[in-house]
A and B are shown apart, each in its own frame.
Chain A
Amino acid sequence: MTPNSVAIVGAAETTDLGKIPDMGQIQLHADAALNALADCGLTIKDIDGVATAGHSPQELAHYLGIVPSWVDGTSVGGCSYMLHVRHAVAAIEAGMCTTVLITHGESGRSRTGFLSPAMFASQFDAQFERPFGVSIPPTRFTLPVMRMMKDTGLTEEHLAMVAVVQREWAAFHPRASFRDPISVDDVLSSKMIAYPFRKLMCCLVTDGGGALILTSADRAKDFPTKPVYIRGLGESVETPVISQMKDMTSSAAFRVSGKKAFETAGISHADVDHLMIYDAFAHLPIYGLEDLGFVGRGEAGPFIAEGNTRPGGKLPMNTNGGGLSYMHSGMYGMYALQESVRQMRGISPAQVPDAKISFCHGVGGMFGASGSVVMTNEA
Chain B
Amino acid sequence: MTDRILPIPTPETRHFWEGTRIGELRLQRCIACDNTYFPPRPFCPDCGSRDVSIYAASGRGALHSYIINHIGAPGMKPPFAVAIVELEEGPRMMANIHDCPQTPEALVLDMPLEVSFEKVTDEITLPQFKPAKGA
Give the docked Cα–Cα distance between A130 and B8 (Å). 11
Name the distance in Å between A248's Cβ and chain B's nearest Cβ: 5
* Chain B residues with CB under 8 A of A144: 65, 84
**Which B1-20 residues have C-beta < 8 A from chain A?**
4-10, 13
**B28-72 interface (Cβ within 8 A of A):** 39, 64-72
A223 contact set on B, CB distance < 8 A: none
A10 lies within 8 A of chain B by Cβ: no
B126 interface hit (Cβ, 8 Å): yes
Q: How far is the CA of A127 from the CA of B5 in the complex (A)?
A: 9
CA distance A191 to B93 in the complex (A): 28
User: Of B71, B80, B96, B110, which one neighbours A193 at CB under 8 angstroms?
Assistant: B71
Residue A221 CB within 8 A of the other chain: no
Query: For residue A145, which residues in chain B have a CB less than 8 angstroms away from its CB?
Result: 65, 67
Per the bound structure, the CA–CA distance linking A130 and B70 in Å amounts to 16
Residue of A nearest to B73 (CB): A133
Q: Check B6 against A131 for contact (C-beta < 8 Å).
A: yes
What are the residues of chain B within 8 A of A128 when measuring CB–CB? 7, 39, 93-94
A373 to B46, CA, bound (A): 30
Query: Contact partner of A243 among B10, B74, B84, CB < 8 A?
Result: B84
Asked whether, in the complex, the Cβ of B93 is within 8 Å of the Cβ of A193, the reply is no
Q: Select from chain B the residue with minimum beta-carbon distance to A146.
A: B65
Q: How far is the CB of A195 from chain B (nearest CB, A)?
A: 4
In the bound complex, how far is the Cα of B68 from the Cα of A321, in angstroms?
A: 27
| CB-contact partner of B96 in A127, A132, A243, under 8 A | A132
Flag if A143 contacts B9 (CB, 8 Å).
Answer: no
Chain B residues with Cβ below 8 Å from A138 are 71
> B69 — which chain A residues lie within 8 A by C-beta?
133-134, 139, 194
Contact across chains for A123 and B94 when beta carbons are under 8 A apart: no
Assess whether A132 is in contact with B6, with CB atoms less than 8 Å apart.
no
Which residues in A have their C-beta under 8 angstroms from that of B5? 130-131
B65 touches A147 (CB 8 A): yes
Instruction: Give A269 Cβ to nearest chain B Cβ, in Å.
Output: 28
CB-CB contacts below 8 Å: A172-202 with B: 191-197
- Residue pair A127, B39 in contact (C-beta under 8 Å): yes
Q: Does A15 contact B (CB under 8 A)?
A: no
Is the contact region of chain B dominated by helix, strand, or loop, or is it mixed? loop
Q: Is B65 a contact of A135 with CB atoms below 8 Å? A: no
Query: Quick one: given A133-B96, A146-B109, A244-B92, are A195 and B104 in contact (CB under 8 Å)?
Result: yes
Which B residues are in CB contact (< 8 Å) with A126?
A: 7-8
Which residues of A lie under 8 Å from residue B39 when comparing CB positions? 124, 127-128, 241, 244
Q: Which residues of A contact B82 (CB under 8 A)?
A: 132-134, 139, 143
Are B64 and A136 interface neighbours, CB within 8 A? no
B111 CB to nearest chain A CB (Å): 12
**Using Cβ atoms and an 8 Å threshold, which residues of chain B touch A139?**
67, 69, 71, 73, 82
Q: Which of A123, A124, A146, A192 contacts B66 (CB 8 A)?
A: A146
Query: How does the 8 Å CB contact mask read for B86-119 relative to A, with 1 for contact and 0 for none?
Result: 0000001111100000001000011000000000
B13, B64, B70, B110: the one contacting A195 at CB < 8 Å is B70
Chain B: minimal CB distance from A307 (Å)? 29
Is A329 on the interface with B (CB-CB < 8 A)?
no
Q: What is the CB-to-nearest-CB distance from A342 to chain B, in angstroms, rounded to a whole number? A: 35
Q: Are B73 and A134 in contact (CB under 8 A)?
A: yes
Considering the chains assembled together, what is the distance between the CA atoms of A124 and B40 in angstroms? 9
The distance in angstroms between the C-alpha atoms of A194 and B65, with both chains bound, is 13
Residue B132 is within 8 A (CB to CB) of chain A in the complex: no
Is A129 part of the binding interface, using a Cβ–Cβ cutoff of 8 Å? yes
Specify which of A131, A191, A192 lies most central, judged by the most chain B CB atoms within 10 Å of its CB. Answer: A131
Binding site for B on A (CB under 8 A): 123-124, 126-136, 138-139, 142-147, 150, 191-197, 241, 243-244, 248
Q: 6 tightest A-B contacts by CB?
A: A195-B68, A133-B73, A127-B7, A147-B65, A243-B94, A194-B67
- 28 interchain pairs, CB-CB under 8 A: A123-B13, A124-B39, A126-B8, A128-B7, A128-B39, A128-B94, A129-B94, A130-B5, A131-B4, A132-B82, A132-B95, A132-B126, A133-B73, A133-B76, A134-B69, A139-B69, A139-B71, A144-B84, A145-B65, A146-B67, A147-B109, A192-B70, A194-B69, A195-B67, A195-B70, A196-B104, A241-B39, A244-B39
Q: Given A131-B5, A146-B109, A150-B109, list of 13 further CB < 8 A pairs? A: A123-B13, A127-B9, A128-B7, A128-B94, A131-B124, A133-B69, A143-B67, A144-B65, A146-B67, A147-B64, A147-B65, A147-B109, A195-B104
